[in-house]
Amino acid sequence: MIGFHPHPPSFGHRFLAKGLGATMWFFIFYRAKQDGPKLLGAHPWGHGDHGTTHEAAHDTHH
C-alpha cells in the first residue's frame, strides 16, 4: 500500500471539533451583533440634525 493513509478521528476528537467550531461561530455572531453597526460605519453619537441649527443661525443674522 503506497501513499498516505491516516487513521479516522476518534469520537472524542470529532465531538471537540464540533463543540469548538460551534463556540467559534457563536462568538463571531455575538461580536457581530455587538460591534456590527460600528464596523459598518455607524457612530455612537448618531447623526442628529446637523444642518438645521447652523442654517437657522445664518437666517437670524441676515
Taking only the tens place, the pLDDT of each residue in 11-52 is: 999 999 999 999 999 999 999 888 877 777 776 666 655 555
DSSP string over 16-47: HHHHHHHHHHHHHHHHHHHHHHHHTT--TT--
Give the 3-state secondary structure of residue 49: coil
- Are the C-beta atoms of residues 9 and 17 closer than 8 Å to each other? yes
pTM: 0.53
How many angstroms separate the first and last alpha carbons of the chain? 93
